[in-house]
Amino acid sequence: MDEHTAITGRPVARKRVDAALRSRANWEELVKFCIVGASGYVVNLAVYTALLEGAGLHYVLAAIGSFIVAVTNNYAWNRAWTFRHARGHFVLQGLRFLVVSALALGANLVVLHLFVQAGLGEVAAQAIAIVVVTPVNFVGNKLWSFRRG
């Protein structure tokens, strides 16, 4: 190991990234996560629209309400299917999932607000905001909520 590698760790990190990208299991998890995410997306938008238009809530309150329903759906499916091999303590893992999801919600609310202020319709803005923050959710849940070991 040369001095640069010992100090920065870049070649080691690069090898880990390369190995992760070559792993079929990681790609299968990503596909499953996206399928679960798609179901959560539909749940989120359906509940958001019902709260916004049916209950007359402000778009931020509607986004928070739909988040609670969608995050429950996503945790159940990701625990049972996507990351079933990495099940930890139900409550602790659920709390981690909630923390990651809350961070994603914060990012979602910022993006949602920016799109609404830019003149995009509230439902369209939410639909785009969910897609924009999905990578934050996957990485956080893969590396922390459902990490192995």
Q: Say what percent of the chain tops pLDDT 90.
A: 52
pLDDT value, residue 99: 95
pLDDT value, residue 85: 86
| Average pLDDT of every residue of the chain | 87
Longest dimension (CA), the chain: 64
pLDDT value, residue 79: 94
C-alpha to C-alpha distance for 18 and 1, rounded to whole angstroms? 18
pLDDT value, residue 135: 81
Is there a contact between 76 and 125 (Cβ–Cβ < 8 Å)?
no
Confidence band of 142 (pLDDT split at 50, 70, 90): confident
pTM to 2 decimal places: 0.69
- Each domain of the chain, given as residue ranges in start order, spans 3-145
pLDDT value, residue 25: 84
pLDDT value, residue 10: 65
Got the DSSP string for 97-143? Answer: HHHHHHHHHHHHHHHHHHHHHTT--HHHHHHHHHHHHHHHHHHHIII
Q: Say what percent of the chain tops pLDDT 70.
A: 91
Count CB neighbours of 107 within 10 A: 15
- Cα pseudo-dihedral 94, 97, 98, 103, rounded to 10: 170
pLDDT value, residue 24: 86
Is there a contact between 140 and 100 (Cβ–Cβ < 8 Å)?
yes
The length of the chain in residues reads 149
3 CB-contact burial (10 Å; exposed 0-12 / middle 13-18 / buried 19+): exposed
pLDDT tens, position by position, 85-136: 888 889 999 999 999 988 988 998 999 999 999 999 999 998 899 889 888 8
CA 71 to chain centre: 9
